[in-house]
Amino acid sequence: MTATHICIAHPSSSAIEVLRKAVESLPDHAVAWSARDADDALRRAASEPVSVVLLSMDLPGPAAAATVRRLESQCHAAVLLVRTGRGERVNEVYDAMEVGALDVVDMPWLDSSSVLHGLSSLVRKLALAARLGARRAADRSLREATPAAPAAAPAHNPSSYPPSTRSGSVLTATRGHAPAMVAIGASTGGPNAVSRVLASLPRPFPAAIVIVQHVDESFAGTIAAWVAQSSGFPVSLAKSGDGLRVGEALLAATSDHLCVASDGRLDYIAEPRDYPYRPSVDVFFESVAAHHRGTAVGVLLTGMGRDGAKGLMAMRQAGHRTIAQDEGSSVIYGMPRAAAEAGAADEVLDIDRIGHAIERSIRGRRTALPG
């Protein structure tokens, strides 16, 4: 198997060696090169492309967001931010994630016996980043080898999808005995996208909102606070046993999967344990389809991979309205693309149109799909 080539950009030589030990503890992963400032990293990346960049938030040179943007354009590598302290420089982390950084990981450390700690999160996120980096490299090679073709019609056309199994012509604010609910899933670029959607909703908002964002659980509280501040919408962490709160948003708080239990309350479950995305949008959306007794709108926002596409289809087939973010406004058009191409989305919309579509669906001011 071809090794996944990774570079380490960190100002500390000792930190580089710790990260090198972490990378080389993984099968088929190798450190191609390292750099101790942003300018050197950018020069090396241009001539020696890699699949993944481990980028320290403390790197001298341009701000992390500017470095991420240039790495994305130069070598299409997946970028993992490395932080040395939790809760520090939060806005800079978000700025970097909004322009394409995949995620943030804590710096592993060696104890006095040279035993490496804090490796599990880095291992999991490196595996995801390596898959994304390999996919980007393959896409780039295909584009370079394929002559340009005339523009084709968009791959997704929601009006042509087969109708869902909804029984009525209009979704109203309640269906059954549960409050209306907006279920949102997101990954890379998600915090800003979620904030923009929430900021566009009317106040008071006549539905509960539950959000599953791919993020390390140690970062969930910071994301909830940031989204609440930037959107002006109340956001807090979801706890096991919580009921839905009309006019408020709850954010998944752990690496276990958030779900709607059979009694309609929120819960966390460990299974499936081998699912690469934690918490999983698919698991959450599928639980909404199975157990929510009121109206629901499913919204799948920017992110890598396919998580959420299958669950969004389950929600659509259960009679709920479904929306995917469009390519032009997505940081990474992976999850919403998978949903759109599978026919799981009733609408594929620019991020700034999603809030209005949610409000329209919740308030019942729409017509049924053709068919």
Catalytic residues: 187, 214, 307
Structure tokens at 338: 């998978």
Structure tokens at 102: 């995949």
Report d(CA 257, CA 212) in Å as an integer.
9
Specify the amino acid at residue 266.
Answer: L
- Closest by CA position to 307, among listed 265, 335, 272, 331: 335
The CA-based dihedral angle spanning residues 51, 55, 60, 66, taken in that order and rounded to the nearest 10 degrees: 70
Report d(CA 220, CA 242) in Å as an integer.
17
Residue 346, CB half-sphere, CA atoms under 13 Å: how many? 27
* Helices 90-98 and 190-199, packing angle to 10 deg: 90
H/E stretch holding 46: helix 38-47
Give, in degrees to the nearest 5, the angle at Cα 240 between 196 and 270.
95
- Closest by CA position to 217, among listed 303, 124, 304: 124
For the chain, the C-alpha Rg in angstroms (whole number) is 21
